[in-house]
């Protein structure tokens, strides 16, 4: 009996060691949220997975398709940040991360390839973000598919792919931006499409980038700066129904000093056009989001970071 029990514990321990990448309510990556508390209200606005085919493609199971998906973004064996992924719109509703206050203000994007998330296709697949080509090979092998096109179709069904972007006027805009990180692995980890939304290219290169740089300066006085950056879903889509184009992007930060004591907070909100970023406080941002999204009362930080 004792032996059986310890065997059971061993199995549980092993199961825990294999960290799920798509997790239940970010249980494996709560460290990216202030006081470990998730923003409230956003889970309710995700659209269900929609599939254009009459039936689910072979091998894709309903249980794999819950929306939103809670992605603990894993890269080189580490959790890097968290993204709430809306499967119906094929964009993240937000990414939550810690801004590295050592970040250089002269940083620039160095990379142009974006990974995808194998676990959005099936949880048996790779737990870390992966190049599209490697992912389709994994899909083909896992489902024993005859040709690579079927694997590509399965990937496309589950999420946005690089081919969805490349339309005039829109960039693959990072929610968690490259330049809020200092070491190369942390920067590279941001290059995944589950952290990207169609962002007006002038906004992305212009006012939004300037705002991101200003945040780095604000982080210098914090022990830790917790950031949540997200979107307001829009009415327009890339390629009819493939990827939702946000009508707005927003970002909120919570700056804490010793003992996790809040010492400052703030937010920015921008229309997804070449215009400007409005700075506001966290409460004002929450009210704006409520006005913009189905009158839902949102809460971004524990106790409003105060
Ligand atoms: C950024 O600035 C630092 C120090 O001022 C310098 O060493 C580094 O080369 C610069 N990096 C880039 C990409 O310009
Ligand atoms: C975007 O706005 C900036 C300043 O407001 C302006 O200099 C720039 O030409 C605009 N770019 C486009 C593509 O409209
Ligand atoms: C946020 O702004 C509103 C309106 O300007 C103000 O009433 C409120 O006190 C501000 N809250 C904080 C925490 O600064």
Identify the band that residue 52 occupies on the pLDDT scale cut at 50, 70 and 90.
Answer: low
The span from the CA of 271 to the CA of 220, in Å, is: 27
Residue 119 forms part of a structural domain? no
pLDDT at 12: 40
pLDDT at 101: 93
The span from the CA of 297 to the CA of 210, in Å, is: 29
Residue 43 forms part of a structural domain? yes
Q: Decide if pLDDT at 11 tops 80.
A: no
Residue 216 forms part of a structural domain? yes
**Mean pLDDT of all residues belonging to the chain:** 89
Q: Is 106 in the pocket of ligand 1 (CB under 6 A)?
A: yes
Per-residue pLDDT tens for 123-180? 889 889 999 999 999 999 999 999 999 999 999 989 999 999 988 899 999 999 999 9
Q: What's the gap in Å between 292 CA and the centre of ligand 2?
A: 25
What residue owns the CA closest to ligand 1's atom 6? 106
Q: Decide if pLDDT at 301 tops 90.
A: yes
Q: 206 lies in which domain range?
A: 27-54+67-113+167-305
Q: Decide if pLDDT at 56 tops 60.
A: no
In this prediction, residues 269-280 reach a mean pLDDT of 95
Looking up residue 232, the CATH number of its domain turns out to be 3.40.570.10
pLDDT at 151: 94
Q: Is 104 in the pocket of ligand 1 (CB under 6 A)?
A: yes
Identify the band that residue 112 occupies on the pLDDT scale cut at 50, 70 and 90.
Answer: confident
Q: What percent of the chain has pLDDT over 70?
A: 88
- The two three-digit tokens of residue 269, written as one number: 């909100």
Residue 60 forms part of a structural domain? no
Identify the band that residue 275 occupies on the pLDDT scale cut at 50, 70 and 90.
Answer: confident
108 Cβ contact partners less than 8 Å away, ≥ 6 residues apart: 179
pLDDT at 227: 98
Return the minimum-mean-pLDDT range out of 10-14, 163-167, 210-214, 244-248: 10-14
Would strands 91-99 and 78-86 be described as parallel, antiparallel, or unpaired? antiparallel
Residue 283 forms part of a structural domain? yes
Per-residue pLDDT tens for 239-249? 888 999 999 99
Residue 298 forms part of a structural domain? yes
Q: Decide if pLDDT at 224 tops 60.
A: yes
Question: How many domains are contained in the chain?
Answer: 1
Region of 35 (left: φ > 0; alpha: ψ -120 to 50; beta: rest) is: left
DSSP state string for 127-154? SS-B-HHHHHHHHHHHTT-SSHHHHHHH
In this prediction, residues 246-270 reach a mean pLDDT of 97
Q: Decide if pLDDT at 6 tops 50.
A: no
pLDDT at 108: 77
Q: Decide if pLDDT at 60 tops 80.
A: no
What residue owns the CA closest to ligand 1's atom 11? 106
pLDDT at 66: 83
Q: Decide if pLDDT at 87 tops 50.
A: yes
CA-based torsion, 135, 198, 163, 154: positive or negative = positive
Q: What's the gap in Å between 284 CA and the centre of ligand 2?
A: 27
Q: What's the gap in Å between 175 CA and the centre of ligand 2?
A: 21
Residue 22 forms part of a structural domain? no
Residue 258 forms part of a structural domain? yes
Return the minimum-mean-pLDDT range out of 51-60, 74-83, 236-245: 51-60
134 Cβ contact partners less than 8 Å away, ≥ 6 residues apart: none
């Amino acid at each position: 009996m004792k032996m059986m029990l310890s065997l059971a514990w061993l199995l549980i321990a092993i199961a825990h060691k294999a960290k799920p990448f798509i997790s239940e309510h970010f249980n494996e990556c709560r460290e990216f949220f202030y006081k470990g508390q998730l923003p409230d209200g956003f889970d309710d606005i995700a659209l269900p997975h929609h599939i254009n085919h009459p039936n689910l493609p072979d091998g894709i199971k309903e249980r794999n398709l819950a929306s939103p998906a809670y992605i603990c973004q894993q890269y080189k064996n580490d959790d890097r940040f968290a993204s709430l992924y809306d499967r119906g719109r094929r964009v993240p509703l937000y990414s939550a991360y810690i801004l590295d206050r050592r970040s250089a203000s002269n940083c620039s994007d160095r990379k142009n390839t974006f990974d995808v998330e194998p676990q959005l296709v099936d949880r048996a697949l790779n737990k870390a973000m992966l190049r599209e080509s490697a992912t389709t090979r994994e899909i083909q092998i896992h489902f024993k598919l005859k040709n690579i096109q079927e694997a590509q179709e399965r990937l496309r069904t589950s999420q946005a792919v690089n081919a969805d972007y490349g339309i005039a006027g829109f960039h693959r805009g990072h929610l968690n931006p490259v330049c809020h990180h200092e070491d190369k692995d942390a920067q590279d980890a941001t290059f995944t499409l589950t952290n990207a939304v169609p962002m007006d290219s002038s906004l992305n290169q212009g006012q939004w980038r300037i705002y991101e740089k200003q945040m780095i300066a604000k982080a210098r006085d914090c022990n830790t700066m917790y950031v949540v950056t997200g979107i307001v879903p829009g009415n327009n889509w890339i390629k009819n129904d493939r990827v939702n184009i946000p009508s707005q992007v927003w970002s909120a930060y919570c700056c804490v000093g010793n003992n996790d004591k809040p010492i400052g907070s703030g937010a920015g909100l921008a229309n997804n056009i070449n215009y400007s970023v409005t700075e506001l406080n966290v409460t004002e941002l929450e009210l704006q989001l409520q006005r913009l999204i189905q009158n839902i009362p949102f809460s971004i930080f524990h106790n409003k970071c105060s």
